Amino acid sequence: MSRTAAMVIMGAFTLYFLVPIFWLLVSSTKTLDNFNSSAALWFSPTSAQDFVGNVGRLFTYNDGIFPRWMLNSIVYATVAGALGTILSAMCGYALAKYRFWGREALFNIFLGGVLVPATALALPLFLIFSKVELTDTFWAVFLPSIVSPFGVYLSRIYAASSVPDEIVEAARIDGSSELRTFFTVAIRLMSPALVTVFLFQFVAIWNNFFLPLVMLRSQELFPVTLGLYTWNSNVSQYPELRTLVLVGALVSIVPLLVAFLSLQRFWRSGLGSGGLK
């Protein structure tokens, strides 16, 4: 394959991947009136001020429900993601570094959890949460989001390859307790993989749609995905929502893009570890 052919293929697909996002950016600078009348893939002379106006309306519409949704998504994704990452790291580390009875059985059970479709869990979880009257609460979405079997899988693989037994042993000889060794030495050696685990979990929670859809009724608890979904289903009755859906969609992907770009250095080295065996 020639150099030109390679560049042409990659160039064509760059358009495929980026044009929809560019269209979203352009659309969010349009008022409802000039959405259809002006060129769809380029800015209009009033784009800057219209964009500011759109964002302003997005953040104030319905008593500021949109910033509330963003905040909810951020809390669900960062707090549950961080907690889940630490728990996965601890568990994966123990499975990698200690020999104990039932270790492989336990690991296989957790690994089986990777293959269980999250959507198959949502419905029985709803029934269980409704017995303890926790549906339509913050906890209904937060608590199940903490558990990430894939995080344990990645942590175990990475702990086995990046934390040498000699270092753990040396820490022991220095009188460090097992927990202290983990939190001061091992966790640092595992950090590239843990950033990956966190990012995967962050994305999974941020993108989660079915669990909140099943669990939540109150709009003020919605994550941004569910919020925009309900707005989009009301577009035919309230046409002004169409602009808000598009601006909201743009705003909602910014945190993920920022997280990916700023943590690139870490997750790129960690991403491969899942495929190695």
Least distance in angstroms from the C-beta of 80 to other proteins? 11
User: At its nearest, how many Å lie between other proteins and the CB of residue 24?
Assistant: 6
| DSSP assigned state of 111 | H
Residue 134 token pair = 């926790």
Distance of closest approach, residue 242 Cβ to other proteins, in angstroms: 8
Q: Is 102 left (phi over 0), alpha (psi -120 to 50) or beta?
A: left
Asked whether 83 and 146 are in contact (CB, 8 A), the reply is: yes
Residue 221 CB, shortest distance to other proteins, in Å, is: 16
Residue reference for tokens 């302003």? 56
Residues in CB range of 86: below 8 A, 6 or more apart: none
Smallest gap from Cβ 119 to other proteins, in A, equals 5
∠ CA 194-199-203, rounded to 5°: 150
Choice between 94 and 194, CB closer to other proteins: 94
Q: Smaller CB distance to other proteins: residue 59 or 256?
A: 256
Alpha-carbon distance 223 to 71, whole Å? Answer: 8
Question: Are 198 and 262 a contacting pair, CB within 8 Å?
Answer: no
